[in-house]
Structures are given as C-alpha cells and as structure tokens.
Structure 1
Amino acid sequence: MARCEVCGNDYDKAFEVRTPGVSEGRFFDSFECAIHALSPTCSHCGVRIVGHGVEAGGQPYCCAHCAEAAGAGAIQDRA
C-alpha cells in the first residue's frame, strides 16, 4: 500500500504520478488530492485550475475574465 502525500491515507488503490524531470513519483489516494497538490492556482481568484485555463504575462488564470480583471488585455477563453 502507498500513503497519500496530501491526506496521509494508506490506501491499497493509491496511484503514482510521475512528472518529467523529477526522479521520484508522488502518491495519492484520489484525484481530489492529486489536484490539490499538483494543479496551479489562478493568480487572480486563487481557485485551483483543473481545466486548460489561460496564461498572461507568465501568470496562470482560471479564465479570461480573471486575466482581464488582473490587468491582462486581449485574452480569450478557448471555445
């Protein structure tokens, strides 16, 4: 069994996530914990970015609205 690095649950169905350039994988017991640990946060509202989001000036945003509210111009969500 593997212990989730976020919640500490020792779970027989835990899974490992490997990131290019990192020698060791990270273990989670749920996608919820993996998202909490791995996803970026919106630079404007702080929500976890689970989808594609947008980027402006090197900063991640959950949507074009947040990017524009933070001062980035001409940002569009993908349709």
Structure 2
Amino acid sequence: MAACEVCGNEYDGAFAVITPDRQEHTFDSIECAAQAIAPTCAHCDCRILGHGVQAGDKIYCCANCARNAGTDAVRDRA
C-alpha cells in the first residue's frame, strides 16, 4: 500500500501523478491531488480545477478575477 503525500493515509487504491517536469506524486484522492498540485488563482488564491484564464504568465480561475487584477482583454463567454 502507498501513502498519500498530503494526508498520509495508507490506501490500496492510491494512485500516482507524474507532472510535466517528471516529478511523481502519490495520492489517495483527487481532493488531495488538487491541494498538492493544482495551480492557484493569481487574484483570489482558489485552486483552479478547470482550464482557468491565462493572461501573460499568470493564471486566474475566471475572467472576473483577471479583470479585477487589471487584465481587461479576457471574457468568460464570447
């Protein structure tokens, strides 16, 4: 059994995630995986579990956060 690197739970259904930079992480749930490796919004700090909105080198959870941070060229809907 593998132990989750976030909560420490030893679980026979744990799974590994390999990030683009080739780091391997072990988790027992998607929730723990999100807490460990999902990016955070540059404005409100929430975890981004979808595509998010990119402006330059920053990523936001939505166009509203991007606008509040000073990026006007993004929209949630066209």
Q: Does the TM-score normalized on the shorter chain lie above 0.5?
A: yes
RMSD (Å), alpha carbons? 1.4
**Aligned twin of 2:74:** 75
CA distance in structure 1 between the aligned counterparts of 2:53 and 2:71, rounded to whole angstroms:
11
Q: Which runs of 5+ in 1 are unaligned?
A: none
**Aligned twin of 2:2:** 2
Q: TM-score, normalised by structure 1?
A: 0.90
Q: TM-score, normalised by structure 2?
A: 0.91
Letter in 2 for 1:73: D
CA distance in structure 1 between the aligned counterparts of 2:29 and 2:16, rounded to whole angstroms:
10
Q: CA deviation at 1:51?
A: 0.7
* Contact 1:53–1:77 (Cα < 8 Å) also in 2: no
Superposition map of 1:55-70 within 5 A = 55-70=54-69
Structure 1 runs, 4 residues or longer, greater than 2 Å off: none
CA distance in structure 2 between the aligned counterparts of 1:9 and 1:77, rounded to whole angstroms:
38
Aligned residues: 78
Q: CA deviation at 1:32?
A: 0.1
CA distance in structure 1 between the aligned counterparts of 2:8 and 2:68, rounded to whole angstroms:
37
**Aligned twin of 2:53:** 54
> Quick one: structure 1 residues 78 and 6, their matched pair in 2 at CA, closer, same or farther if it must change by over 3 Å?
farther
Percent of aligned positions that are identical: 60
Q: Which runs of 5+ in 2 are unaligned?
A: none
**Aligned twin of 2:12:** 12
